[in-house]
Structure 1
């Protein structure tokens, strides 16, 4: 019994010592730390980077900058292991006053060091943007976002024609250059407005335009057929009729095992040609994958080209009878990694992959006139997710369904 009591006493003593070891003494009577010494101020777009030298003070906890931004007093803090402060979010190039304090462990502040900065032109003022008519609505263009700032493009419209504008949609991006289509709008002259906003609620001037959306329909697939040109590749996997090219437009549910899948030894790049049975101008392409399979991986197309022709060479040759409609890469809402790796897949990525994947036809340097009429569409897959970034010359390709949108031409 005595041994048990002795053991318990020793245990409490050990635990008590450990607990006491966690207590950090803060001297509430210690004076505020000395001021920092500002060494350099580098003005940046909408802000500045302030480099400083820390005081030699054992009571030092960190440093903070206090300043006014859009009518509010805000703070930016740095630990004692960092010698720079970043202040940002200013919407003009006006001179700004920054107060920098040393912070003591007892939370006492030094006298402020007052620094004046002169922010460079902020992204909401330097980034180019515009809005123009598009198929089924309008297209918003953003360019020259060289700093890859996190921006929102706000589209407004006076749909009632009474001079009152209401928000239609807000698009978010960090891209240097991007186009956003907004469809589902009425085909009539409408006044639109668009402006940029950043995450600190700084805003650009608003651009106003009266535009008329271009009529767009889903191209009927009743006349589609496999053109079977000599250089095309469309042999189904295992020779199964359940994987033949026609399943791309027959409307069958891909979950029942009917979708397009080429053989496992198919050459790369590979292409197939669809005879549309009528003359059309394409505005966009919708794609559905094999359900619950190949999520941003494996044999799904990653980069591909779409070509059009009114009179393709019957030999299947790539010649002047074909014109480029566009080159596309599978979009991933959360973005790819710095090395273009897929990286983590978010719920938004998954939803887009299975329910919203589409590719907009827009003029580019490579495809300056993509809206030329075509009776045949040729899709040339340059890489799948498993061959992207490699020199692989063979790969199976799997696609659930395709649909084409645009205008039929008489």
Structure 2
């Protein structure tokens, strides 16, 4: 028995060692010749570049294919494995013909003889995407439109520190980034005096558009005080908090996350009717230019109980019976913006980093004149929010839904002098 135990003590470690997984060892034959060249099958032009389709050689030593080209004076290359039959070259700032060279790459990194072809890029996005700027409340709004390729673009807003078009000294005021088909960005906090501004587009290869210039006058705007806000509690309003918890009261909309950073928010009960509305008595005469909204922190990203479509109504003398009579005027109807866009069926779809940042940090709604709301800047003493759908109820006939909002802040002008 002692001999058997002794043998087992020797054999088991040997067996374990023998079964141990070894690291992969690839044999690379440095003496193997370079693979044969690729055969180019076609070239498809695209904005700022081209897609090249090719056939690889039948060679066991082939690792992949690379293309070498010169862009903005710099030699660049792109690579693809042997399992791919296309390569993309991109980043050109014009439509001039460009020579590119394709190489087969061996496992031992030896290159085949080059195969040359000429591509002719289409106009790059910085030359085709439409952009503009306009004066707004508190500053300037720059906009991008028709970015149909979802190109990664920056729009640079400049300001002249001298202040006139005959003698200029430019500074970059702010740069905004987007891949959206259409997007607006606001630079707030500017003085309500005439100023000379410029804007241009830039892509990630530093190709730039022409610059547009405008003299604009930002409209005076302040963050409106919340010290006199209260729940108007009109008879038809719904503001019952979830679980009757005082921490979910309507008042959390103006004394919640922004004021306390304690995670407070407004949450209606789970059996709330849809649509549902609530009314805020402002305590001042105000003209509203924009509304900022914060969601519940780290919760329901483009989903769940967050409002998706809602209306804002204003009154300076609401009917105390809570009815929707002529004392209420529509100031605007809004849908939660998603910078990357909703799907063809209005589904939420993939969520990008830009979407995430907008949801938690930059969601705001500008009041602008429309056919339905021709005078959004009228003087009001009460605001009424009518939630038409949450993300849960959008596109359904749901009759009940909870609503959760973190915080509301209003910008505009005080009109106590009227």
- CA offsets, 1:207-263, max 9 Å, x none? 122212111012234554444445432234455666543453467956779753323
Partner of 2:131: 129
SS at match of 1:245: coil
Conserved in 1, the CA contact under 8 Å of 2:256 and 2:263?
no
Offset of 1:44 from its aligned partner?
0.6
Equivalent positions of 1:376-391 (< 5 A) are: 376-388=382-394, 390-391=396-397
Partner of 2:203: 198
Offset of 1:160 from its aligned partner?
4.5
Q: For 2:268, which of 241, 249, 262 is the aligned residue?
A: 262
Conserved in 2, the CA contact under 8 Å of 1:232 and 1:316?
no
Partner of 2:348: 340
Task: Give the direction of change, closer, same or farther, for the CA distance of 1:316–1:368 in structure 2 (3 Å limit).
Answer: closer
Conserved in 1, the CA contact under 8 Å of 2:295 and 2:306?
yes
Task: Give the direction of change, closer, same or farther, for the CA distance of 1:268–1:11 in structure 2 (3 Å limit).
Answer: closer
Q: For 1:41, which of 36, 40, 43 is the aligned residue?
A: 43
Task: Give the direction of change, closer, same or farther, for the CA distance of 1:196–1:248 in structure 2 (3 Å limit).
Answer: same
Using the alignment, how far apart are the partners of 1:246 and 1:402 within structure 2?
A: 10
Task: Give the direction of change, closer, same or farther, for the CA distance of 1:33–1:341 in structure 2 (3 Å limit).
Answer: closer
Q: For 1:322, which of 329, 332, 340 is the aligned residue?
A: 329
2:286 is the alignment partner of 1:283? no
Conserved in 2, the CA contact under 8 Å of 1:324 and 1:366?
no
2:367 is the alignment partner of 1:359? no
2:224 is the alignment partner of 1:216? no
Deviates more, 1:260-269 or 1:235-244: 235-244
Q: Tell me the matched-pair count.
A: 403
Using the alignment, how far apart are the partners of 1:230 and 1:403 within structure 2?
A: 24
- CA offsets, 1:114-160, max 9 Å, x none? 11111111110000111111111110111111111111111111234
Conserved in 2, the CA contact under 8 Å of 1:124 and 1:202?
yes
- CA offsets, 1:381-409, max 9 Å, x none? 23334445554321222334322111234
2:73 is the alignment partner of 1:68? no
SS at match of 1:323: strand
Conserved in 2, the CA contact under 8 Å of 1:336 and 1:343?
no
Equivalent positions of 1:23-172 (< 5 A) are: 23-161=25-163, 163-172=168-177
Conserved in 1, the CA contact under 8 Å of 2:311 and 2:330?
no
Using the alignment, how far apart are the partners of 1:359 and 1:318 within structure 2?
A: 28
Deviates more, 1:395-404 or 1:43-52: 395-404
Task: Give the direction of change, closer, same or farther, for the CA distance of 1:342–1:281 in structure 2 (3 Å limit).
Answer: farther
Using the alignment, how far apart are the partners of 1:309 and 1:292 within structure 2?
A: 34
Task: Give the direction of change, closer, same or farther, for the CA distance of 1:99–1:2 in structure 2 (3 Å limit).
Answer: same
Normalised by the length of structure 1, the TM-score is 0.84
Partner of 1:406: 412
Q: Aligned-residue CA RMSD in angstroms?
A: 3.6
Conserved in 1, the CA contact under 8 Å of 2:317 and 2:327?
no
Conserved in 2, the CA contact under 8 Å of 1:132 and 1:211?
yes
- CA offsets, 1:352-397, max 9 Å, x none? 63xx454131538676746431413221223334445554321222
Deviates more, 1:357-366 or 1:369-378: 357-366
SS at match of 1:248: helix
Task: Give the direction of change, closer, same or farther, for the CA distance of 1:371–1:165 in structure 2 (3 Å limit).
Answer: farther
Task: Give the direction of change, closer, same or farther, for the CA distance of 1:216–1:25 in structure 2 (3 Å limit).
Answer: same
Offset of 1:302 from its aligned partner?
3.7
Q: Identify unmatched segments of 5+ residues in structure 2.
A: 1-5
Offset of 1:101 from its aligned partner?
0.7
Conserved in 2, the CA contact under 8 Å of 1:123 and 1:145?
yes
Normalised by the length of structure 2, the TM-score is 0.82
Conserved in 1, the CA contact under 8 Å of 2:158 and 2:198?
yes
Using the alignment, how far apart are the partners of 1:14 and 1:234 within structure 2?
A: 68
Conserved in 1, the CA contact under 8 Å of 2:139 and 2:218?
yes
Deviates more, 1:29-38 or 1:124-133: 29-38
Equivalent positions of 1:179-258 (< 5 A) are: 179-238=184-243, 243-249=248-254
Using the alignment, how far apart are the partners of 1:325 and 1:139 within structure 2?
A: 19
Using the alignment, how far apart are the partners of 2:140 and 2:329 within structure 1?
A: 28
